Structure 1
Amino acid sequence: MKKLVLTGAAGRLGSYLREPLTKMCDELVSTDRVDDIGTLYPGESYVQADLSSLDAMLEVIKGADMVVHFGAIGDEAPWDDILQSNIIGAYNVWEAAYRCGVKRVVYASSVHAVGMHLKTDTIGLDAPHRPDTYYGLAKCFCEDLASLYWDKRGVESVCMRIFSCAQATNARSIGTWLSYDDLIHLVERSIDSPVVGFTVVYGISNNDRAVVDNSKAGHLGYRPKDNAEVFAKAVFADTPPLDNKDLANLCIGGPFATVELGNSGVAALGVVDDRKET
């Protein structure tokens, strides 16, 4: 491909995608709201832009083959913040992609679009939306937006329902972990698969205790290699007995299932900010 666009390039997950994406195209345009994202990789440029501006997205996306959309707030937040960044921002990305003739949007959706389902149900990709927060509700909107733009305007999308893409430091993550290497593999397959139409896939590693079924996304060729079971003994040894009536332990959304709307869910997860520095 000639040009890829990566939104959310300054974020933790975006930091791991920048270098591998430069190897899939002649030009990678990374974008975010910050002033600077550090040293650029060969073939990469940086454009400061706000997702809430359609004009800005049109300018950034012009001439792109595909957009990898990781921008927006990555946690539960007050409604007005979610509305501007995660909902209006997503509309601007898909609308700009349509107007600019982009083939496909690869989107960082989230488990929180279905976060109120129980772990023990081992849901598949046909499970109905069941968001656990405003953040999860925005992911539902974006998945439906992606479906609409495929059905009515021919813009392909892969919506990756990302689970625990961080260090496996708590009991929940033993079933929900997504390693950075598997994240990169999933994004690569979402880009290089010849035809995807509208596809939803769970972003989860090859965990023995996985809480969802990804079999209906086999056409992407996503074959995760890593398994959180290697961390299980140490993590469980440091974990007190869990309350089996607490929705934070029962639901696949974890603590997002119990936080008050508008309040952070990430704060309860102990996520380590180990973003890749350049």
Structure 2
Amino acid sequence: MKKIVLTGAAGRLGTILRGPLSQLCDTLVSSDIVESLKDLRPNETYICADLADKAAIMALLEGADMVVHFGSIVDEAPFEELLGPNFIGAYNIWEAAHQNGLKRVVYASSIHAVGMYPKNECIGLDAPHRPDTFYGLAKCFAEDLGRMYWEKRGLEAVCMRILSCAPVGNARALGSWLSDGDLVHLVERAIDTPVTGFSIIYGVSANDRCPVDNSKASFLGYRPKDNAEQFADRILAEAGPHDPQDVGQMCHGGPFASIELGQGAKALLNIPEED
């Protein structure tokens, strides 16, 4: 491809993706709201752009083949804080992609779009939306937006419902972990699959305790290799007994399912610091 745009490029997952994406195109345009990025690849440029600024996003996507949309507030917050980057930003991405003639939007959706389902239900890709937070609601909005733009305007989308792409630091992550390598593989398949239409796929590694079913997305060719079971002995020894009455332990959304709406949840996930 000639040009791929990556939003959220300054975040942890965006940082992981920049190198691999630069190898898939002539020009990678990375974007976020920070002033600059370090260590740009030879074919990578950086543009500071606010997702809520429609004119800026329209210009950002000009001439692109695809956009990999990872930009957002990545935690629960009051609706008013999420409205610009997570809701309006999603609309701006899809509308700019349509007006600029892009082939596909590759979107970082989340398990939190279906986070209120009990974990003892292995949910598939056709499970109706059941968001656990305003953050999850924004993911539902973007997924529905993507389906509508495909059905009404022919703009393809792959919505990757990422479960948890961070170092394993809690018992929930033994099922929900998406390794960095499997993340890259997932995004590559979302980009290089010839035809996707509108598709949803769970972003999760090949964990023994995986709580979701990706079988209906097998055509994308995503075949994860990593397994969080390697961490199980340590994590379970540290975790202690679980409370079956705790919604945060019983639902797919984890702490996001038990917090009050608008209250941040990332601090409750016990994600260890990386070296």
Q: TM-score, normalised by structure 2?
A: 0.99
Say what the alpha-carbon RMSD is for the aligned residues.
0.9
Is the partner of 2:30 in helix, strand or coil?
strand
Give the corresponding residue for 1:234. 234
Question: 1:270: how far off?
Answer: 2.1
Is the partner of 1:201 in helix, strand or coil?
strand
- Cα deviation code 1:172-206 (max 9, x no counterpart): 00010000100000000000000000000000000
Give the corresponding residue for 2:183. 183
Give the corresponding residue for 1:95. 95
- Cα deviation code 1:34-84 (max 9, x no counterpart): 011212012100000000011000111000000000001001011111111
- Cα deviation code 1:218-260 (max 9, x no counterpart): 0100000000000001110111101011111110000000111
Is the partner of 2:120 in helix, strand or coil?
helix
Give the corresponding residue for 2:21. 21
Give the corresponding residue for 1:6. 6
Question: 1:265: how far off?
Answer: 1.1
Which runs of structure 2 are paired with 1:27-106 in the superposition (5 Å)? 27-106=27-106
- Cα deviation code 1:10-48 (max 9, x no counterpart): 011100000000000000000000011212012100000
Which runs of structure 2 are paired with 1:118-129 in the superposition (5 Å)? 118-129=118-129
Q: TM-score, normalised by structure 1?
A: 0.98
Question: 1:271: how far off?
Answer: 2.5
Runs of 5+ consecutive residues of structure 1 not aligned to the other structure: none
Q: CA contact under 8 A between 2:76 and 2:133: conserved in structure 1?
A: yes
- Given residue 82 of structure 2, which amino acid in structure 1 is its aligned partner? I
Aligned positions, number: 275
State the 4+ residue runs in structure 1 displaced beyond 3 angstroms: 272-275
CA distance in 2, matches of 1:247, 1:42: 48
19 and 65 in structure 1: CA distance in 2 versus 1, 3 angstrom threshold:
same
Q: CA contact under 8 A between 2:160 and 2:200: conserved in structure 1?
A: yes
- Given residue 159 of structure 1, which amino acid in structure 2 is its aligned partner? C
Q: CA contact under 8 A between 1:47 and 1:60: conserved in structure 2?
A: yes
CA distance in 2, matches of 1:194, 1:17: 20
- Given residue 167 of structure 2, which amino acid in structure 1 is its aligned partner? Q
CA distance in 1, matches of 2:203, 2:66: 19
Is the partner of 1:120 in helix, strand or coil?
coil
1:256 is the counterpart of 2:256: yes
